[in-house]
Structure 1
Amino acid sequence: MIHQSPILKDIKIKTNLKPGDLGYIIHKHGVIYSEEYNHGVSFEAYVAQGIFEFYSNYNPVKDRIWICEHNNKIIGSLVLQHREKNTAQLRYFYLEKEYRGIGLGKLLMNLYMDFYMKCGYDSSYLWTTHELGTATALYTKHGYRLTEELNTNSFGKNLIERKFELKS
C-alpha cells in the first residue's frame, strides 16, 4: 500500500466547538512540544490554563477558533483571542507533522488575518520561543515584528521567549 501525503482540499476547517475539542488541543500541544522541543508537563498545564481562559471569555463576535480535521481527526488549530484595548492575541497554533508544508499553516494565517481585519482590531500579538523558526517566518510574512525577548526557564528548559506584534 502506498502512503499518500494529505492534500489541503481534504482538510475540513471548522470554527465551532464540540465536547472533547479543547481537551484534545491541550493534549496535542503537550505531546508535540514534548516530542519536538523537549518541553515538560508545565507547558501542557500552561496551555490548559490559557484554553480555559479563552473559553471562559469567549465572545463569538471577537474571538475565533479554527480546528483542522482530516478523516474526523483533529490535526491542527489556531485561536484568535480578544484582549484589552482592541487587541487580538494569536494562540495555540499547531499542525501535526504530516500536515506541515502543504499550505495549511498559510491558510490558517490568512483566515486569522481576515477575521482580525473584519473585527477592526488595532493590533495583534503572540508569544513564541526561539525554537520555532518556521512559525516565526510565517508571522513576519504577515507583518508581525519582534518587540521583546526574555530569557526564561519556562516549560522545564532554558528558552528565549519572543513577543511579536502587528499594528494595523
Structure 2
Amino acid sequence: MQLSDLIIRTELKPGDLGYITYRHGALYSNECQYGIEFESYVAQGLHEFFSQYDAGKDRVWLAEYEGRIAGSLILMHRPGNAAQLRCFLIEPEFRGIGLGRKLMDLFMDFYREKGYTSCYLWTTHEQEPAIALYKRYGFQLTEEKPSTAFGKALTEQRYDLVS
C-alpha cells in the first residue's frame, strides 16, 4: 500500500464523528490501556468541534482507503486567532507510508492560509512517534501535568507551535 492509494476528504459525513470516537477509544485502549474516560474526552471534543464548526476557520481531514477511514486530523479554531490540533490518529496498518506527514502538511497549509497566529495541541508523554512528528513541524513542549483523566496515571503535555 502507498500513500497515493488513499483519498483525503475534508467534509464530514454521517457516521464520521461516531467512528472517529470509536477508533480513538478502541485503539488507545489496545495500545495504551486508556479507559473509557479517553473515549468520552474524544467524544466531547468532537461534539464541541461540530457544534462550533465554521468552514472558514475549521477543517477536518479524513484519509480513506477503499471507503474505510485510515487516519484523521482536525484543526479547530480557538479565541485569539489560535488553532488547536485535535484527533490525530493513524490506523496501525497505515503507519510508515507518510500519511502522518501528509495530514500534518495539509494542517499546516490550512493554518497558514487562514492566518492563524498561534497553534497548540494536547497529548500524553506516551505518544512518542506523534510527538516526534509534531516537533519536526515546530511544536515545542510548553506545559506538563500529571493526570489520571484517561483511566491511568500519565503525563499530559501541551505543545505550542513556535515559528
Q: TM-score, normalised by structure 2?
A: 0.99
Matched, 1:69 2:64: yes
Query: Which residue in 2 is equivalent to 1:3?
Result: none
Pairwise CA distance, 1:159: 0.6
| Structure 1 partner of 2:2 | 7
1:116 aligns with 2:114: no
1:98 corresponds to: 93
Give the deviation of 1:154 after TM superposition.
1.5
Distance in structure 2 (CA, Å) of the matches to 1:111 and 1:23: 23
1:77 CA drift (Å): 0.3
User: How far is the alpha carbon of 1:167 from its aligned partner?
Assistant: 3.8
d(CA) in 2 for partners of 1:113 and 1:17? Answer: 20
- Structure 2 residues not aligned, in runs of 5+: none
Q: CA deviation at 1:62?
A: 0.3
- Runs of 4+ residues deviating >4 angstroms: none
Flag structure 1 segments of 5+ consecutive residues without an equivalent.
Answer: 1-5
What SS is found at the alignment partner of 2:150?
A: helix
> Within 2, Cα distance between the matches of 1:125 and 1:167?
9
| TM-score for the superposition, normalised by structure 1 | 0.96
Structure 2 distance, partners of 1:147, 1:76, is: 26
- Alpha-carbon RMSD: 0.6
The aligned counterpart of 2:26 is: 31
Alpha-carbon deviation of 1:19?
Answer: 0.4
Cα distance per residue 1:115-157 (max 9 Å; x no partner): 0000000000000000000000100100001000001111110
* Aligned amino acid, residue 77 of structure 1: S
Superposed CA offset, 1:71-120 (max 9, x none):
11111100000000000000000011010010000000000000000000
Bigger Rg, which one: 1
1:122–1:167 contact (8 Å) kept in structure 2: no
Mapped partners of 2:108, 2:70: distance in 1: 21
Q: 2:38 corresponds to which letter in structure 1? A: F
